[in-house]
Amino acid sequence: MANTMTLISSVTVGSGGASTISFTSIPSTYTDLCLKLSARATGGGDEAAALVIQLNSSNLTSGIHLQDFAGTATSTTGVNIAYAIPQTAVANSFSNMEIYLPNYTSTNTKSLSSDQVQENDSATIVMNLSALYQTSSTAISTITLSPSTSTFVQYSNAYLYGIKNS
Amino acid sequence: MAILNKLLGRNTMTRPTRIEIDCSTGVESIIELTDAEIAQMEVDAAAAATRQAEEAAAAQAAADAKASAQAKLTALGLTAEEISALTK
């Protein structure tokens, strides 16, 4: 079981916004990676604000998501971490999410799990639990995050942690 | 300068950017998107807007059908409790 957590890098989006956030040259000296994100997008709808995550500049292979839209549970499939970021949400509110990538240097398929909530008013709050994977035999050295068709707003931030099991 | 840019036809609008953090050095770079990347963003945004409109229309159609069905059941003499029991 991984028992130490070290901050590798972090970023806070500036006043101009950003279409993507990329962590490159990720060291391969850890066992797992953990990404913590607080974000808001400029998109005017859920589709525009769905979070896209790429590993080594490639899309994920598949994913499934359990969601709760203001008390109504749904399930969807897709490679985007759907509806992760508030868009037409309450002013100045940001989403919380954590993405965990175990064994990221393995030559086996890379699996991810993530949980997200939108910090919105009670009428439209969204919770999302996702399981995703990418069929790749290459160690993960780059992670790219973006709202599917909009941009991250100022003060969105991301923290990438490396986790060791020793 | 603004007048000069206008006369020369320069686009002085702020271009969208992306942030890249090199984890080996800690260096953070803010990079302007290329014309091709901006064009792709616009295409994706239009497609997303279309998908969202289609999903909203489908959800509205389903809600209308449910309301219509409930009204017909009421006309047949079912109580609200009986209709609710049927739809669970």
Confidence grade of residue A144 (pLDDT, cut at 50, 70, 90): very high
Range of the domain at A31: 4-164
A129 sits in which H/E element: strand A126-134
Distance CA A142, CA A23 (A): 5
Comparing A79 with A117, the larger pLDDT belongs to: A117
Residues of B whose CB is below 8 A from A17:
16-17
Q: Is the pLDDT score of A162 beyond 90?
A: yes
Residues of B whose CB is below 8 A from A13:
19
pLDDT digits (tens, 9 = 90+) for B7-23: 444 444 578 899 999 99
pLDDT for the residue numbered B59: 75
Q: Is A16 on the interface with B (CB under 8 A)?
A: yes
Residue among A16, A48, A149 minimizing CB distance to B14:
A16
Measure A21 CA to nearest chain B CA, in Å: 5
Spatial contact of A89 and A73, defined as CB atoms under 8 Å apart: no
Distance CA A134, CA A140 (A): 11
For residue A35, what is the domain's CATH number?
Answer: 2.60.120
Instruction: Give how many domains chain A has, as a whole number.
Output: 1
Structure tokens at A34: 């953990």
Task: Please report the ipTM that was assigned to this predicted complex.
Answer: 0.85
pLDDT for the residue numbered A14: 93
Q: Is A42 on the interface with B (CB under 8 A)?
A: no
Residues of A whose CB is below 8 A from B21:
9-11, 21-24
Q: Is the pLDDT score of B62 beyond 80?
A: yes
Residue among B18, B37, B48 minimizing CB distance to A18:
B18
Q: Is A45 on the interface with B (CB under 8 A)?
A: yes
Residues of B whose CB is below 8 A from A43:
45, 48
pLDDT for the residue numbered A46: 60
Q: Is A37 on the interface with B (CB under 8 A)?
A: no
The residue ranges of every structural domain in chain B are 2-87
pLDDT for the residue numbered B4: 47
Mean pLDDT of A1-24: 90
Q: Which of B18, B22, B51 to mutate to test the interface with A (most CBs of A within 10 A)?
A: B18
Residues of B whose CB is below 8 A from A10:
21
pLDDT for the residue numbered B1: 46
Spatial contact of A23 and A159, defined as CB atoms under 8 Å apart: no
Residues of B whose CB is below 8 A from A148:
44, 48
Interface contact A45-B45, CB threshold 8 A? no
Most confident of the ranges A63-67, A141-145, B35-39 = A141-145
Provide the b/e sequence for A26-56 (b: ≥16 CB within 10 Å): beeebbbbbbbbbbbbbbbbbbbbbbbbbbb
pLDDT for the residue numbered B41: 78
Sheet with strand A143-147: strands edge to edge: A58-59, A51-55, A143-147, A21-24, B17-22, B27-32
Q: Is the pLDDT score of A110 beyond 70?
A: yes
